[in-house]
Amino acid sequence: MTLLAVRGLCAVHGLLQAVRSVDFGLAEGEILALVGANGAGKTTLLRTIAGVHTPAAGRVEFDGADVTNCAPHVRVARGIALVPEGRRLFLNLTVEENLRVGAVSGRKGSWDLDRVLEAFALLRPLRKVKATYLSGGEQQATAIGRALMTNPRLLLLDELSLGLSPKAIDSVYASLRSLSRAQTAIILVEQDLQRGLSFANRVVCMLEGQIVAQGRANELTREQVMQHYFGARLPAVGAMTA
């Protein structure tokens, strides 16, 4: 079943067209790695899907409904959650308080405080610690946990491992494995290409705001994707699932 369909989506920053006629779909429970060099349009695409950035053209459909003109909080209520680049935590609030912010949406589901602390066990002893005192990995886990408290069907993760130590990255990814078992769909922007390819079911590669390749993760090699990073127009693998 197609959960998300992006159709002809365009987004601009001033005179810059950051996303150009992007089309792709995502099935329920699928994990998609969105890759590309800096400035390829990945963050703008995630923000537009989440409703934080207004599209210039095209459509975003979620669970069969057109949400293109829906406000971000409406999309959260429907089941779309964004973990933004930079985490954007409330630094003067504790871990537990930050997590409970996610529950304000009131969306029903199986994710609650106990389950989040079970999935991200490193946070349990830190629940009364203010976010400003956390390490990068602990802050990232808190940001993901806050998003899970909204009980999303689609989780958008922007620059998941940026600035994290290898040990912290391993810990965050280990916790994310439970999401795939829970049939939560994920779109992941990841600078660690090999890790993204190994975690995702499918890969979409962007260049200058456009999709230049997409396919099953096990059908695209790291070398092929890197060529697309730098503009080598190889035949794309796969097609939109919608």
Q: Is the pLDDT of residue 232 over 90?
A: no
Provide the 3-class DSSP secondary structure of residue 5.
Answer: strand
Query: How confident is the model at residue 95, as a pLDDT?
Result: 96
Query: How confident is the model at residue 136, as a pLDDT?
Result: 87
| Structural domain boundaries in the chain | 2-229
C-alpha 208/C-alpha 175 separation (Å) is 32
Query: How confident is the model at residue 230, as a pLDDT?
Result: 65
Mean predicted confidence (pLDDT) in 206-229: 83
Out of 8-12, 62-66, 85-89, least confident range: 85-89
Report which residue type is found at 147. A
Q: CA–CA distance from 61 to each of 58, 150, 155, 225 (Å)? A: 10, 19, 15, 27
Residue 30 burial (CB < 10 Å; 0-12/13-18/19+)? buried
Share of the chain above pLDDT 90, in %: 55
Query: How confident is the model at residue 235, as a pLDDT?
Result: 47
- Other beta carbons within 10 angstroms of residue 173's beta carbon come to 17
Q: How does residue 79 score in pLDDT terms, banded at 50, 70 and 90?
A: very high
Q: Are 112 and 69 in contact (CB under 8 A)?
A: no
The 10s digit of each residue's pLDDT in 14-25 is 888 999 999 999
Mean predicted confidence (pLDDT) in 56-82: 96
Q: Residue 115's closest CA among 102, 129, 128, 104?
A: 102
- The residue with tokens 């996610």 is 102
Query: How confident is the model at residue 180, as a pLDDT?
Result: 63
Q: Are 150 and 105 in contact (CB under 8 A)?
A: yes
Query: How confident is the model at residue 223, as a pLDDT?
Result: 78
- The residue with tokens 């899970």 is 148
Query: How confident is the model at residue 148, as a pLDDT?
Result: 92
Query: How confident is the model at residue 43, as a pLDDT?
Result: 94
Mean predicted confidence (pLDDT) in 36-47: 92
Q: Is the pLDDT of residue 84 over 80?
A: yes
Q: Does the predicted TM-score (pTM) go above 0.85?
A: yes
Q: Residue 112 is encoded by which pair of tokens? A: 């609650």
- The residue with tokens 């994290």 is 164
Superfamily of domain 2-229: P-loop containing nucleotide triphosphate hydrolases (3.40.50.300)
The 10s digit of each residue's pLDDT in 91-112 is 999 999 999 999 988 788 888 9
- The residue with tokens 């969105």 is 34
Contacts of 128 (CB under 8 A, 6+ apart): 94, 95, 96
Paired strand residues for 60: 6
C-alpha 207/C-alpha 213 separation (Å) is 9
Q: Residue 173 is encoded by which pair of tokens? A: 């990814």
Q: What is the mean pLDDT of the chain?
A: 87
C-alpha 26/C-alpha 240 separation (Å) is 8
C-alpha 240/C-alpha 28 separation (Å) is 14
Beta strands 202-207 and 210-216, pairing class: antiparallel
The 10s digit of each residue's pLDDT in 178-217 is 776 667 899 999 888 888 888 899 999 999 999 988 888 8
The 10s digit of each residue's pLDDT in 62-74 is 999 999 999 999 9
